[in-house]
Amino acid sequence: MTAFHQQYKMTSASDTPVPTLLRAFEIGRNAGLHFVYTGNLAGAAGAHEDTFCPACGALLIRRRGFHIVESRVSEAGTCPECDAVIPGVWS
């Protein structure tokens, strides 16, 4: 879920408030999505910026805004805690 910010010629719409972004996050999680995280509000959404293992809940990717601070997914694409397969390109 990415927050909107007024920029350049797109200034008529309001910036996305943090509660709206968190609500979108919860809707995605409640719908059964496993890899939902917020973006474009660096630090404002806390751990909602990060990705966690859907099998065991371990931290997989820590983010700050659009920057990956830490990636714990193995090159084989598995969780470092429970070896669950994490979809993606990891090598």
Sequence-ordered alpha helix ranges (H) in the chain = 18-30
What residue type is 63 in one-letter code? R
What is the C-alpha to C-alpha distance for residues 50 and 3, in angstroms, rounded to an integer?
A: 15
Which DSSP letter does residue 60 get?
A: E
Which pLDDT belongs to residue 66? Answer: 77
Q: How much is the pLDDT for 78?
A: 97
Q: What is the pTM of this model?
A: 0.80
- Tens digit of pLDDT at every position of the chain (91 positions): 778 878 778 788 788 888 998 999 999 999 999 998 887 877 777 788 899 999 999 999 998 877 899 999 999 999 999 999 999 988 7
